[in-house]
Amino acid sequence: MKLQEAVEKIILPDNTYEKKAARRLDEQARPQGSLGMLEETARRLAGIAGTLDVCLNRKVIVTCAGDHGVTAEGVSLFPQEVTAQMVYNFIDGGASINVLGRHAGALVQAADLGVNHEFEPQLPVFHKKIAKGTGNIRREPAMSRDQAVSAIEAGISIVEKLAEDPGVNLLGTGDMGIGNTTPSTAVIAAFSGINVEKLTGRGTGLDDKALAHKIRVITDSLAFHKPDPKDPVGVLAKVGGFEIGGLAGLVIGAAAMGIPVICDGLIATAGALIACEIAPLAKSYLFTSHRSVEAGHRFMIEHLGIQPLLDLGLRLGEGTGAALAMEIMDASTRVLAEIKTFEEVAIKNAQKK
């Protein structure tokens, strides 16, 4: 499925079941609105699935990985080699996302979009490498425009594969890539025009001096490339990352197939932001898992206008927030389907007139 074909396939969910869900939630034997975001989540999921008894029994989290040339500028405490090492940890099932994914009942799969390493072809990874890392965005484009499109289409193709039997009815997105908070921050700066100092976080734990340097690197990169916010593929090509493109493709692909998708923190949300700039209707299928402590993430979710489900002080990535939020989404479906209405329990005159 090519990018344009996927974008054209996205349609707004039929609001019939969203309205039915809202009505049932209002009529349940409890104060209206008392379950807060669970109700909003249940209503949206019902609209997407076209039923009041939504089943999220086939959950998958895809952790997209890629390396970044900008690590040469000293924007991370960890060397680039850690990206590949962590992908092997995902494969072995020993990473944070594996533990939380298992707890949520989700299959976790890694995808190589641009790691500076050759993974053995027999490994259970989505082998979608565009190149062995991006260019150093302080001095050159991250990638060509064709590569940016290829990265997005790689994400779309992953969703196509996952949609095969037995399929997937909830998709989570996560990331791995040393240095990738730098391009992610550049992405939200390009779209929002907000001062880089307000958007830039400490990533892997930078001290004040290193943080100031990171801010200079991002500022220099934006001044060098002058990314046009009206051209989201161009923003990705100039200051993004291959895994960020893949994450954008996951969102577009899921929306094209009517699958709800929940994105993780800063990097996954950068991909979701690009996706929704390319295909605004994709936002109807998008959920945000949590509010990261990374400074730029708050501005990303404000730009998207989607309330996160959790606020736990997370700043790990990998899809860990998405895994935790999947359990909240599961709970919301049971709220809708199983809490009885006043009429069903024969309580009379309980609703506000």
**318 assigned to active site:** yes
Widest Cα–Cα separation across the chain: 70
Contact at 8 Å (CB) between 71 and 327? Answer: no
CB atoms < 10 A from the CB of 353, how many?
3
Q: Helix (H) and strand (E) counts for the chain?
A: 14, 6
Is residue 143 a contact partner of residue 28, using CB atoms and an 8 Å limit?
A: no
Active-site residue identified among 318, 327, 338, 343: 318
Half-sphere exposure of 260 (CA within 13 A, CB side): 29
Structure tokens at 195: 């001062």
Contact 278, 234 (CB under 8 A): no
Q: How many degrees, rounded to 5, is the angle at CA 216 between CA 291 and CA 150?
A: 65
* DSSP, residue by residue, 291-326: --SSHHHHHHHHHHT---SB-S-----TTHHHHHHH
Q: Which sequence positions are flagged as catalytic? A: 318
